[in-house]
């Protein structure tokens, strides 16, 4: 099940971050709280049928109607629950936000993250370029990826209405 990420989830998100991004400055609970509160961000939770939070994802929507741009800030799934469709479902929610606004979408991903790279490619992203030493303190490189806007040029959606 996918629904909205809330303040009640931030401790669990921070716990998952420490598992998923140990060498790349995992976000603390406070970072999740401020991300959720930011008006131009949308955050989603993936939960088991029993209600356990097993994944999270967030996207920002910036710019003006007609030239809106999205950036995927994060997406992660509990290692114990990976490979069961949660990541794909979370990404679909993020892309629905972008598509409703006819916005192109950008993200950064480690160049060695084959699973995520494949998932993004299959969902319309292409590599735009490479950012050396993007992740700290690991020093890992990132690809910047872009997915073109759907229905670009016909945007009449206001950011505040999304």
List residues binding ligand COA (CB under 6 A).
20, 75-77, 82-88, 109, 113, 115-116, 119, 122
How far apart are CB 151 and ligand COA at their closest, in Å?
Answer: 23
Q: How far is the CB of 66 from ligand COA (least distance, A)?
A: 28
Nearer to ligand COA (CB atom), residue 100 or residue 119: 119
Q: Which residue, 16 or 155, is less far from ligand COA as judged by CB?
A: 16
The minimum distance between CB 149 and ligand COA, in angstroms, equals 20
> How remote is the C-alpha of 1 from its chain's centroid?
17
**Minimum CB distance to ligand COA smaller for 79 or for 151:** 79
Distance CA(98)–CA(59), nearest Å, equals 9
Q: Report the residue number, 83 or 137, with the smaller CB distance to ligand COA.
A: 83
Give least dist CB 154 to ligand COA, A. 28
Phi, psi of 156 (to 5 degrees): -135, 25
């Amino acid at each position: 099940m996918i629904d909205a990420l809330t303040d009640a989830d931030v401790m669990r998100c921070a716990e998952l971050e420490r598992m998923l991004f140990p060498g790349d400055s995992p976000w603390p609970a406070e970072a999740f709280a401020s991300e959720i509160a930011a008006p131009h961000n949308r955050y989603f939770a993936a939960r088991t049928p029993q209600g356990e939070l097993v994944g999270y994802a967030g996207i920002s929507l910036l710019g003006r109607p007609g030239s809106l741009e999205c950036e995927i800030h994060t997406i992660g799934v509990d290692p114990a629950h990976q490979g069961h469709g949660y990541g794909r479902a979370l990404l679909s929610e993020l892309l629905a936000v972008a598509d409703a606004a006819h916005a192109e979408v950008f993200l950064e991903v480690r160049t060695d993250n084959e699973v995520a790279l494949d998932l993004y490619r299959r969902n319309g992203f292409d590599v735009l370029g490479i950012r050396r030493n993007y992740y700290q303190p690991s020093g890992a490189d990132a690809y910047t990826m872009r997915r073109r806007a759907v229905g670009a040029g016909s945007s009449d959606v206001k950011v505040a209405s999304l």
